[in-house]
């Protein structure tokens, strides 16, 4: 991947913005540094570039999300929101749109997406993974705020509570994708998400409860299945937003990044569907205990940075001002 100076500068800025310490958990600084030490270029922009290389019109991308919140085992708004907005961005990037339809329709109709559950049982999940990979032949798999199985095949919340019975065994899909050389990306914010295997030692050091869970398995909270790339963000949705911004920057199409109106609407719908806003466990609109309008501010700032990156790139190519 060859980046222009303007792209690299804005790419670093995107990473800084989406990894700012806003939740007060005190772990994202260390997790980001560990993820960044694995590569020489900004995380979100790298993921964006790899997706644009791999994904072409008519091809399938599988996005995985869903982290049940203890003790309700209900969903949360961190994950689904970024999944929806990244799906939109990917479809725009390959000149498509986004209708949600049943899988068969989605495979035959243009500009569609399908929402699929995944089996809770391991054996059924393994069969389903092979079938999906055989039929869909995806170009890429992205996990956003998606927990995975630890060394004892147990799933955990960031505080170490067991979630195994409520999680589709999506690890089977990621493991098989790796064998088939399909691009895999994990987006996480707490060390218990798919993708964090790459920074296992740093998670063990930085995240309380990561080394020993609070369930009888006595293992770590870190999923074992590896991914090609990891994005560590303050809130996982923001990692997805950063990838959208990266694609918008690389293609010089600001509209690929969703705007704050869409952001608010997706949060609203997610909360109305019963997804949690973390913290005190309320169904307030927002993610990781951060209210929805603040997520809109992040989207606004990312949008401004993308425009700056595009403008500066053009200024160097075609100087517009006599004093420049």
In the region spanning residues 291 to 320, those forming contacts with Zn ion, defined by CB under 5 A, are: none
DSSP for 20-69 reads S--S--S-HHHHHHHHHTT-SS-HHHHHHHHHHHH--TT--EEEEEE-PB
- CB atoms near residue 56 (< 10 Å): 10
Nearer to Zn ion, 92 or 213 (CB): 213
The interface region with Zn ion, picked from 45-53, 120-128, 208-216, 304-312 by CB under 5 A, is 208-216
Distance CA 324, CA 316 (A): 9
Joined tokens for residue 181: 């050389």
Least distance from Zn ion to the Cβ atom of residue 201, Å: 19
In the region spanning residues 212 to 251, those forming contacts with Zn ion, defined by CB under 5 A, are: 213, 215, 217
Nearest to 87 by CA among 111, 107, 103, 53: 111
Per-position x/- string for 135-154, each x denoting binding to Zn ion as judged by CB under 5 A, each - no binding: -------------------x
Q: Tell me how far the alpha carbon of residue 138 is from its chain's centroid.
A: 17
The residues facing 62 across adjacent strands are 141
In the DSSP assignment, the letter for residue 288 is T
Nearer to Zn ion, 154 or 237 (CB): 154
Nearer to Zn ion, 7 or 147 (CB): 147
Nearer to Zn ion, 214 or 283 (CB): 214
Least distance from Zn ion to the Cβ atom of residue 217, Å: 3
Strands 290-291 and 286-287: antiparallel
Least distance from Zn ion to the Cβ atom of residue 101, Å: 38
Nearer to Zn ion, 154 or 158 (CB): 154
Q: How many helices (H) and strands (E) does the chain have?
A: 11, 8
The interface region with Zn ion, picked from 65-73, 83-91, 209-217, 266-274 by CB under 5 A, is 209-217
Least distance from Zn ion to the Cβ atom of residue 284, Å: 29
The interface region with Zn ion, picked from 17-25, 193-201, 206-214, 301-309 by CB under 5 A, is 206-214
Nearer to Zn ion, 215 or 270 (CB): 215
Per-position x/- string for 151-190, each x denoting binding to Zn ion as judged by CB under 5 A, each - no binding: ---x------------------------------------
Nearer to Zn ion, 43 or 213 (CB): 213
Judged by CB under 5 A, the number of residues near Zn ion is: 4
Is residue 190 a contact partner of residue 181, using CB atoms and an 8 Å limit? no
Nearer to Zn ion, 159 or 308 (CB): 159
Least distance from Zn ion to the Cβ atom of residue 211, Å: 11
- Strand ranges, E, within 101-188: 112-113, 140-146, 183-188
In the region spanning residues 102 to 121, those forming contacts with Zn ion, defined by CB under 5 A, are: none
Kindly state the helix (H) or strand (E) to which residue 83 belongs, with its residue range: helix 80-93
Least distance from Zn ion to the Cβ atom of residue 258, Å: 36
The residues facing 142 across adjacent strands are 63, 185
Max CA distance (Å), the chain: 70
The interface region with Zn ion, picked from 77-85, 168-176, 182-190, 207-215 by CB under 5 A, is 207-215
Distance CA 131, CA 133 (A): 6
What are the residues binding Zn ion (CB under 5 A)?
Answer: 154, 213, 215, 217
């Amino acid at each position: 991947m060859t980046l222009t100076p303007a792209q690299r500068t804005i790419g670093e800025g995107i990473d800084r913005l989406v990894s700012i310490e806003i939740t007060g958990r005190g772990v994202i600084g260390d997790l980001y540094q560990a993820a960044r030490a694995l590569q020489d270029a900004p995380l979100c922009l790298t993921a964006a570039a790899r997706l644009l290389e791999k994904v072409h019109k008519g091809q399938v991308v599988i996005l995985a999300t869903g982290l049940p919140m203890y003790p309700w085992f209900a969903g949360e708004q961190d994950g689904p929101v970024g999944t929806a907005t990244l799906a939109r961005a990917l479809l725009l990037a390959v000149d498509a749109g986004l209708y949600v339809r049943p899988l068969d329709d989605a495979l035959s109709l243009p500009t569609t997406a399908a929402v699929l559950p995944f089996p809770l049982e391991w054996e059924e999940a393994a069969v389903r993974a092979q079938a999906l990979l055989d039929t869909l032949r995806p170009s890429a798999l992205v996990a956003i705020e998606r927990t995975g199985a630890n060394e004892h095949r147990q799933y955990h919340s960031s505080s170490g509570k067991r979630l195994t019975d409520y999680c589709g065994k999506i690890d089977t899909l990621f493991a098989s994708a790796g064998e088939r050389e399909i691009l895999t990306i994990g987006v996480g914010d707490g060390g218990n998400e798919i993708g964090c295997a790459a920074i296992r030692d740093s998670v063990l050091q930085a995240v309380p409860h990561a080394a020993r869970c609070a369930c009888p398995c006595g293992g770590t909270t870190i999923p074992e299945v590896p991914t090609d790339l990891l994005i560590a963000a303050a809130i996982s949705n923001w990692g997805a937003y950063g990838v959208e911004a990266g694609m918008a920057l690389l293609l010089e199409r600001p509209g690929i990044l969703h705007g704050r109106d869409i952001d608010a609407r997706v949060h609203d719908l997610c909360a109305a569907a019963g997804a949690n806003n973390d913290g005190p466990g309320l169904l307030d609109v927002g993610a990781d205990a951060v209210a929805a309008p603040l997520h809109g501010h992040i989207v606004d700032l990312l949008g401004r940075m993308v425009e700056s990156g595009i403008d500066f790139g053009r200024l160097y190519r075609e100087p517009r001002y006599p004093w420049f």
